[in-house]
Structure 1
């Protein structure tokens, strides 16, 4: 599997984990010093895992499009795309599209998220 294929698959798994409240995925794949920036603010790994585990992001659908992978070197890459999110908030379905970028780093043969950023549209 190529770096591009691997990282696109991991991005899909990350969004699935988000929808399912699977904090275990984030515990495994976020580097200890990782950061995420979104409309919810800046969160580190320790803050992210409980939020995901409690499923505070009630996403029922996430569709990624326009995905691109910029391989910086053998162990670093950036994945960018548009994500169309459908969330249920107070019983109502809301469309929450964003542009997103994830910086991945491979250490010891394992890919980990260093940084993830979302810009709401």
Structure 2
């Protein structure tokens, strides 16, 4: 079974069993994941694909706000194309839950930027990122964005 399938299944099983939120000893993990989440946003703002090369698992599953499914290589190529440029990304909400070697990050973000040179109105998106510690390193195994209501 591919690592992603196993991890995503385990992550959602843990959620369905209503595992308690991260305990005090996981505080350091929460800080690590929070910092990685912040780095991810900075990579988006800079159009920096090196973050994703380093932190995406090779078999990561990425679903964009338009519903399109991307592989690691496809997502990196999309970022490097420069078609989508962000002026600002505002983190409006961030929650992190740790389940052993898995962390689930939920974000509410407001994006402002341009697509193919055309500015777009600020858009609210919810992002869910599943991180797994594999061989001592945190990797993104699943990432999905869904449009949120603009308030």
TM-score w.r.t. structure 2 length?
Answer: 0.74
Q: Which residue of 2 aligns with 1:11?
A: 37
SS in 2 for 1:49: helix
Question: Is the 1:78–1:103 contact (alpha carbons within 8 Å) kept by the matching residues of 2?
Answer: yes
- The equivalent residue for 2:53 is 27
- Structure 1 position 64, deviation (Å): 1.2
Structure 2: gaps spanning 5 or more residues: 1-26
Aligned length: 120
Deviation at 1:87, TM superposition (A): 1.2
Query: How far apart are residue 68 of structure 1 and its match?
Result: 0.7
1:58 CA drift (Å): 1.1
Higher helix share: 2
Whether contact under 8 Å (2:86, 2:111) holds in the other structure is yes
Gaps of 5+ in 1: none
Is the contact made by 1:87 and 1:96 (CA closer than 8 Å) also made in structure 2?
A: no
Alignment of 1:27-46 (within 5 A): 27-40=53-66, 41-46=68-73
Structure number with higher strand proportion: 1
Q: 2:133 aligns to what?
A: 106
Structure 1 residue 63, shift from structure 2 partner: 1.2
